[in-house]
Amino acid sequence: AQENECGDIGNEGAKTSMEDQQSIIQYYEKDLREKMQADRLYPKNVTVEEMADMEWNNLLKLASLRNGGNQLPHDPIPTQFELLLFSSCPRAVAVLASYPRSGNSLMRTLYEHTTLRVTGSDMQGGLAKHDLVGEMAVTTNKVQFVKTHYPERRGTPPFQASRAVLLVRNPFDAIDSFFNLMMTGTHTTSISNDIREKTTQVWEEFVLKEIRVWKKFHLYWLNQDIPLLLIRYEDLIRRPDRVMERVIQFVLEIQRMGSFFGERIDRCIREQEEIERLGSYKPRS
């Protein structure tokens, strides 16, 4: 009987110890949740840039908790409402080079949504109204990745580039889309069949001129003595997740892609059902 009593006492003690341990864990998790919730409250008079920086640090904390197998204290901010950061670059910027109408704006938007970093541009092309706010930003104290159509056209004064992503689209599709842009003055509207018939000669002359420009443009970048990543527009449309994983790793010079950017790509790209929802504007058909 004494052994049973001792055994019961021992079991009761172990049970109490486990309950104490669970209560400590629960207290810690509750305290952590409250602290994380408090960190999400913006103080008065905070700037948008400071808010974006706070959101980025919060994302890093959530990623650390997730990697440690811990329960997240709250869901991340929906990707469409996340704020972007202007961010300095420790070396000359990477450029996103493409002939016009080759998917440059789409890639910039995917890059911004995934990294939460503003992309730059060496020209003022009217894309600010489509939420690409880095127009004319090319300096390393503001951006890391800069759009350019050079040498097809020159935007800002020359600037240094350390590496380049060359985005290539089938010239038949790119030139046709560029013709629509020139004729309508918009990124989304196509000319009617009636106008197409009336401008047949203009179209033929345009194609003969632009196919030479298209060839010269790509030869220029293929002959540059800097690291180059060649991406096909058609691949960007079919598998934006895989393409952007390569682009981010190349632009940011990441040796090994960890779980953080993998999770970002899942949330910002793979979870979207239609490619049209990923871009800055609905593409021309």
Cis peptide before 151 (omega within 30 of 0): yes
* Residues 183, 111, 141, 249, CA torsion sign: negative
Helix (H) or strand (E) holding 251: helix 240-251
Average pLDDT score, the chain: 81
Residue 207 is predicted with a pLDDT of: 92
- CB-based burial, 68-97: b 16+ in 10 Å, e otherwise: eeeeebeeeeeeeebebbbbebeeebbbbb
pLDDT of residue 161: 93
Q: What is the mean pLDDT of residues 199-207?
A: 89
Query: Average of pLDDT values for 139-168?
Result: 90
d(CA 160, CA 227): 13
pLDDT value of residue 41: 63
Contact (CB, 8 A) for 122 and 150? yes
**Which range has the top average pLDDT, 13-27, 100-114, 223-237, 251-265?**
223-237
Decide which of 24 and 1 is more confident: 24
From CA 31, how far away is CA 23, in angstroms rounded?
12
Nearest to 85 by CA among 49, 110, 55: 49
Model confidence at 123: pLDDT above 60: yes
Cβ atoms of residues 107 and 134 within 8 Å? no
Task: Look at residue 117 and tell me whether its pLDDT is greater than 60.
Answer: yes
Cβ(218)–Cβ(164) below 8 Å: no
- Strands annotated E in the chain: 93-98, 120-121, 145-148, 161-168, 228-232
Please give the structure tokens belonging to residue 158: 């020359």
Average pLDDT over residues 244-253: 94
* Residue 129 scores a pLDDT above 80: no
Determine the average pLDDT of the residues in 48-74: 81
Average pLDDT over residues 148-164: 89
Find out whether 245 and 257 touch, Cβ atoms under 8 Å: yes
Nearest to 91 by CA among 284, 251, 219: 251
Q: Closest Cα to residue 147, out of 167, 169, 172?
A: 167
Report how far Cα 95 is from the mean position of its chain's Cα atoms.
14
pTM comes to 0.75
Q: Is the pLDDT of residue 39 over 90?
A: no
Enumerate residues 6+ apart whose C-beta is below 8 A from 61.
36, 39
> Is 227's pLDDT higher than 90?
yes
pLDDT at residue 126 is higher than 60: no
